[in-house]
């Protein structure tokens, strides 16, 4: 067991109709004015927007709105939100949507209390020391952004997709109502499943030291997400499956899985961020392409854990078979597993690899993830 600090003070309110209490929760915390941020039309079409507004008004919470947050959320939108938050003196940021909306809310919350350019936090030129309180109402389960201090933002000027990680942007409270997730399309459900599996296996497969308990914990998450994805593809309104999926998605990236491990990293996210920064593919779709390729390239560096993965998750013996089974499962649920399926030309590989190798320097992973090695990985995709 490697030394660690575990601290996750986000409160989760899980269950039916809990979104109707958002005004009450804000009021309890003494908050009088929020910046409400969300994506496009979907929360208006579903009626969720109306419920949120009604709850805010009932609790006398004033609000200003920032809509139009897109998946792979953009720095330009974050800057727009920071200006609005400052001009309007809001006291909290309320994100209603999926991981992109939550990530956007976090970046605004940190930027609103910072005099410099918020991008400084992403390039590690500055450290986050405070942020406005963040509240989320989630409509998609995948990122675990609702219970961690991570935010990934794409700089639309430079095509850099960079991240922050700070306890100051852990949401104060997140509302998870599985019913709000029932309208997720089969495609996005599949991408979400891949994302959760990616969060689960990154440290599991790369750590130099990994306690057995952590392995069992991660395997439980993977088994649950696979099982419940299959149920939901058949029966999208299955509440139990939707609920378990939502909860294990959070468990995959709320700090528990890596606690006590050493030397883990996030190479699949590293490479995928460049795919989606340059080609705006859905994060989970990009991961489904990167993961089998990366696994084929990497598995000889950690053969025992890859064999364990193969045995525990698929009941097969060799790393190769495990990788093949995972790829087949991605295909079965409708996730792409080749660059071609993402409509990314093979002659783009050099460019993607160059972009990713720059991120690797920011993440301290440049020794292994050189442009050459990333090119090798992508050539397997």
Interacting residue ranges for its own copies, rule: CB under 8 A: 1-16, 18, 178, 211-213, 216-217, 219-221, 223-224, 227, 239-240, 243-244, 247-248, 251, 256, 259-260
Q: What is the spatial distance between Cα 205 and Cα 350, in angstroms, rounded to a whole number?
A: 26
Query: What backbone torsions phi and psi does residue 151 show, to the nearest 5 degrees?
Result: -150, 135
Please, which residue, 210 or 269, has the CB nearer to its own copies?
210
H or E stretch covering 38: strand 33-38
Please, which residue, 236 or 334, has the CB nearer to its own copies?
236
Asked if residues 35 and 88 have their Cβ atoms less than 8 Å apart, the reply is yes
Q: How far is the CB of 190 from its own copies (least distance, A)?
A: 19
Angle at 320 between CA 319 and CA 325, to 5 degrees: 95
Q: How far is the CB of 182 from its own copies (least distance, A)?
A: 13
Q: How far is the CB of 238 from its own copies (least distance, A)?
A: 11
Q: How far is the CB of 178 from its own copies (least distance, A)?
A: 7
Neighbours of 144 (CB within 10 A): 23
Please, which residue, 248 or 342, has the CB nearer to its own copies?
248
C-alpha 46, offset from chain centre: 23
Q: How far is the CB of 346 from its own copies (least distance, A)?
A: 40
Q: What is the spatial distance between Cα 374 and Cα 285, in angstroms, rounded to a whole number?
A: 18
Please, which residue, 99 or 171, has the CB nearer to its own copies?
171
H or E stretch covering 304: helix 303-314
Please, which residue, 11 or 62, has the CB nearer to its own copies?
11
Please, which residue, 228 or 268, has the CB nearer to its own copies?
228
3-state DSSP call for residue 84?
Answer: helix
Please, which residue, 173 or 281, has the CB nearer to its own copies?
173
Q: How far is the CB of 179 from its own copies (least distance, A)?
A: 11
Residue (of 7, 62, 10) closest to 32 by Cα position: 62
Q: Is 352 left (phi over 0), alpha (psi -120 to 50) or beta?
A: alpha
Hey, which residues does 110 pair with through a beta bridge?
none
Q: What is the spatial distance between Cα 232 and Cα 244, in angstroms, rounded to a whole number?
A: 11
Q: How far is the CB of 325 from its own copies (least distance, A)?
A: 19
Q: How far is the CB of 371 from its own copies (least distance, A)?
A: 36
Integer distance in angstroms from the first to the last C-alpha of the chain? 35
Q: How far is the CB of 69 from its own copies (least distance, A)?
A: 26
**What long-range pairs does 4-9 form, CB within 8 A, spacing at least 24?**
4/258, 4/259, 4/260, 6/255, 6/256, 6/259, 7/167, 7/255, 8/147, 8/148, 8/170, 8/254, 8/255, 9/167, 9/170, 9/172
C-alpha 106, offset from chain centre: 13
Q: How far is the CB of 196 from its own copies (least distance, A)?
A: 12
Please, which residue, 193 or 365, has the CB nearer to its own copies?
193
Please, which residue, 10 or 150, has the CB nearer to its own copies?
10
The owner of tokens 């969720």 is 48
Please, which residue, 226 or 287, has the CB nearer to its own copies?
226
């Amino acid at each position: 067991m490697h030394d660690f600090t575990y601290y996750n003070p986000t409160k989760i309110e899980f269950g039916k109709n809990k979104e109707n209490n958002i005004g009450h929760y804000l009021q309890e915390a003494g908050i009088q004015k929020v910046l409400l941020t969300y994506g496009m039309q979907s929360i208006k079409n579903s009626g969720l927007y109306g419920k949120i507004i009604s709850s805010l008004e009932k609790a006398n919470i004033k609000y200003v709105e920032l809509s139009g947050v897109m998946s792979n959320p953009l720095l330009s939108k974050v800057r727009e939100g920071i200006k609005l938050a400052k001009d309007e003196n809001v006291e909290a940021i309320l994100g209603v949507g999926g991981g992109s909306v939550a990530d956007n809310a976090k970046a605004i919350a940190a930027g609103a209390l910072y005099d410099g350019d918020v991008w400084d936090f992403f390039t590690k030129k500055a450290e986050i020391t405070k942020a406005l309180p963040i509240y989320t109402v989630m409509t998609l389960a995948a990122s675990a952004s609702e219970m961690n201090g991570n935010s990934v933002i794409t700089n639309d000027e430079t095509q850099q997709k960079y991240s922050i990680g700070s306890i100051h942007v852990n949401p104060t409270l997140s509302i998870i109502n599985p019913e709000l997730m029932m309208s997720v399309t089969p495609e996005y459900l599949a991408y979400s499943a891949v994302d959760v599996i990616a969060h689960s296996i990154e440290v599991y497969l790369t750590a130099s030291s990994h306690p057995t308990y952590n392995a069992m914990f991660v395997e439980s998450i993977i088994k649950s997400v696979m099982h419940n994805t299959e149920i939901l593809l058949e029966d999208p309104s299955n509440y139990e499956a939707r609920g378990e999926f939502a909860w294990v998605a959070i468990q995959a990236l709320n700090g528990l899985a890596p606690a006590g491990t050493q030397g883990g990293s996030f190479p699949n996210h590293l490479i995928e961020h460049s795919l989606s920064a340059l080609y705006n593919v859905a994060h989970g779709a990009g991961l489904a392409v990167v993961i089998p390729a990366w696994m084929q390239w990497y598995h000889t560096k950690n053969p025992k854990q890859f064999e364990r993965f193969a045995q525990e998750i698929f009941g097969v013996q060799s790393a190769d078979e495990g990788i093949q089974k995972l790829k087949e499962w991605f295909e079965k649920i409708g996730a792409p597993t080749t660059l071609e399926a993402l409509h990314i030309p093979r002659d783009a590989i050099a460019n993607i690899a160059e972009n990713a190798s720059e991120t690797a320097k920011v993440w301290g992973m440049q020794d292994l993830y050189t442009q050459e090695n990333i090119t090798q990985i992508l050539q397997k995709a």
